[in-house]
Amino acid sequence: MPYNGLSSFIKRLEEEGELVRASSFVDPVLEISEITDRIVKSNGKALLFENNGTNYPILINIFGSDKRMALALGKSPEDVAKEIETFFESVTGGSRSIKNIGTLFNVIPKRIKRKGKCQEVIFKEVDLSIFPVLKSWPFDGGRFFTLPIVHTVHPETKKKNAGMYRMQVIDNKTTAIHWQRHKTGANHFEAWKKVGKKMPVAVVLGGDPSYTYSATAPLPENIDEYMLAGFIRGKRVKMVKCVTNEILVPDDADIVIEGYVDPSEELFLEGPFGDHTGFYSLSDWYPKFHVTCITTSKNAVFLATIVGVPPMEDAFLSKATEKIFLSPIKLAIQPEIEDLHLPAEGVSHNFAVVKIRKSYPGQGKKVISSLFGAGQMSFTKYLVVVDGDIDIRDYPKLVGQVLRNTDFKRDLLFIDGPLDVLDHASDNPAFGGKLGIDATGKIEGELVDRKDGEQKNIDKFPEPVFKEVLAKQLENLPFFILSPKQKNGGIDFDNLKAELTDFSTLFP
């Protein structure tokens, strides 16, 4: 279901018993983060800090559980994935049904030519100190906006982007924008630098939570993030023009900060920042954002998050992404992929596990090579490919399959390539070593020096043998065998009780 700003979502959280209001004063400098860190790691609820020294309550941890993630999207990530798969299959199959046309219509953002709900309050004087911007960790370089949706436009192609880039407050009218060199915002910045003009920027906080999720999603550069949000909501996102530039922002955003970046001026030494890797990302040079206008809705809420030693709130965003984007990866990149997992311990970009449907020699390495060059998957540092009947989220079984199926001379693929800028282990920022592991079962054509031709797993005993064992007299064995019947998809406990009673003589 679509939400009309964060106030609408807060109401839903309260109806579901998923929100705690804090009315006592809590300082945005370190105190809110300390509390939130403990709440997130204890699987606690979303928090609304109503007394923080400003007129804007801070809403935090809205994505910090599977249930709240589903509430934020209006449906479970699994349901979003099914809808995407069904839609793509019907479109690629040539279907032009009214339903598909309607779905496409709901996806495209709609510009409205009136003042937006996000512009109910327009501040004549620019002053960022009106907002409760967090300082999350003791050695952070300052206060940071942690969930800003940064809107930019390419000066020539006019393609839009809404990315999630943290912003460090420099003074009451200026911030830094941490768009890494691989990100679309940075590409737009370089394009504006070439044409020698100031780059218009608009920053959005809040609105329907699907906007925030979509800004974190690994979309191709030519896909508008609000198209994804419209698909998730089942309703077009209404957009309005900013007050001081031409950028379009969501009508129901809680807060909009307008301004520009001047590519000709010196960069700012941003950071350090306690990051989702569990380490402080080091200081580095990033552009300055100059604020020209601030607008809000009447009952605006300040949306924030903290990142740090995982698992944190961002782990649930990553978990949703692995489910939602499995279908597009299968359809657009690798049709043999059956499942994808990004463990929280790998902080999204360090470790990925893929299960494939294997049918020919070398297929595991082919998938590794392809994914190492695919969009944001190209930042993955460790990539494991498996096949067969295995739950890739069952770590003991996963490790067992890797150790059983892998010859480290044959099945490891070492390459140099791009890494996430936040990776602290590499010698050089954004570039270093990567490892692919082909842990698929080896088939004929891969085991060239073996006479048997392929690996064979030890499976369960044949059914006739099992039945024969059950029929034998086993009183002298130090164990007994139960074969409980199924009832309504589960164990028939009445039958199980009867079997236990029959064996009671074994336990004097």
Point out the residues that are catalytic: 275
Q: Which helix (H) or strand (E) holds 431?
A: strand 431-438
DSSP letters, 466-486, are HHHHHHS--TTSSS----PPE
Residues of the chain by 3-state class (helix, strand, coil), percent to 5 = 30, 25, 45
User: What's the Cα-to-Cα distance from 490 to each of 59, 363, 484, rounded to whole Å?
Assistant: 42, 38, 10
Place of tokens 């300390």: 34
Q: Which helix (H) or strand (E) holds 21?
A: strand 19-22
Place of tokens 């809680």: 254
Contacts of 220 (CB under 8 A, 6+ apart): 375
Closest CA to 8 of 318, 236, 297: 297
Query: Three-state DSSP class for 357?
Result: coil
User: What's the Cα-to-Cα distance from 373 to each of 55, 183, 446, rounded to whole Å?
Assistant: 46, 15, 24
Q: How far apart are CA 129 and CA 457, in angstroms?
A: 64
The one-character DSSP state at 428 is B
Query: Three-state DSSP class for 278?
Result: coil
User: What's the Cα-to-Cα distance from 431 to each of 278, 310, 374, rounded to whole Å?
Assistant: 19, 23, 16
Query: Three-state DSSP class for 284?
Result: strand
